[in-house]
Chain A
Amino acid sequence: EAGVAQSPRYKIIEKRQSVAFWCNPISGHATLYWYQQILGQGPKLLIQFQNNGVVDDSQLPKDRFSAERLKGVDSTLKIQPAKLEDSAVYLCASSLVDPYNEQFFGPGTRLTVL
């Protein structure tokens, strides 16, 4: 079974630029999550999708972050414009229907904002 795929693996941009991350979940997983992990901390949930609907985006900085999950499969997370404090690893995870199922994580995208 293929795991969660993410791209790119690394991205370096300057502040005020835009960036987008892509995630392809495990086939058949209805739930998809985006997390932000700052160095030395545990991941923080940014947004959770159930199929292509948003379940929880309470911690997503909506003035600069946006996410979509078209057709209930792949998802993209965008930051526009980026700030220095957005430097982090962005992790995508998926699971079967919540809340009882375990989450499986992708390798993450390491973003550096200069």
Chain B
Amino acid sequence: KQEVTQIPAALSVPEGENLVLNCSFTDSAIYNLQWFRQDPGKGLTSLLLIQSSQREQTSGRLNASLDKSSGRSTLYIAASQPGDSATYLCAVRDNYGQNFVFGPGTRLSVLP
């Protein structure tokens, strides 16, 4: 059964810092991995989708990498801003039931 973990659970950084969020999964047989952001009381906003054949995806200040063999993905945020404050979740779609399994999220606070 696929399990997804995210470290750290919470992170607080000053504005302008570059930061890395980590996502680990136990079964490397995946179709793809997706990063989301969730603001308090809101739904999820898709940030980046990485297919299993890809190594990384970039969108603006965000860069996500995928290492299937080690069961890891990282989300890199460059020059963080207070508006980046949110919970960041990763989710993995596996090859078997095509189920979509979420991690618990990392709660990010960017201080002005």
| A contact face: mostly helix, strand, loop, or mixed | loop
Among listed B66-74, B78-86, B91-99, interface-contacting one = B91-99
Check B104–A108 contact: CB distance below 8 A. Answer: no
> Residue A98 contacts which of B51, B98, B102 (CB distance < 8 angstroms)?
B98
> Residue A108 contacts which of B32, B34, B43 (CB distance < 8 angstroms)?
B43
Report, as a range, how many residues of chain A touch the other chain.
Answer: 20 to 34
Check A102–B46 contact: CB distance below 8 A. Answer: yes
For B, the interface residue count at a CB cutoff of 8 angstroms equals 25
Check A100–B44 contact: CB distance below 8 A. Answer: no
Check B104–A42 contact: CB distance below 8 A. Answer: yes
Bound-state Cα–Cα, A108 to B36, Å: 15
Q: Which residues of B contact A107 (CB under 8 A)?
A: 42-43
Interface string of A78-114 (1 = CB under 8 A from B): 0000000000000101000011101111111010000
Taking the closest CB of chain A, its distance from the CB of B56, in whole angstroms, is 16
Check A103–B98 contact: CB distance below 8 A. Answer: no
B→A interface (CB under 8 Å): 4, 31-32, 34, 36, 41-46, 49, 51, 89, 91, 93, 97-105
Check A44–B46 contact: CB distance below 8 A. Answer: no
Check A102–B49 contact: CB distance below 8 A. Answer: yes
Taking the closest CB of chain A, its distance from the CB of B48, in whole angstroms, is 9
A→B interface (CB under 8 Å): 4, 6, 33, 40-45, 55-56, 58, 91, 93, 98-100, 102-108, 110
Contact A100/B4 with A91-B44, A108-B43 known, Cβ cut-off 8 Å: no
Bound-state Cα–Cα, A103 to B91, Å: 10
Check A42–B89 contact: CB distance below 8 A. Answer: yes
Check A100–B51 contact: CB distance below 8 A. Answer: yes
Check B104–A58 contact: CB distance below 8 A. Answer: no
Check B103–A33 contact: CB distance below 8 A. Answer: no
Q: Which residues of B contact A33 (CB under 8 A)?
A: 100
Closest to B48 in A: A102
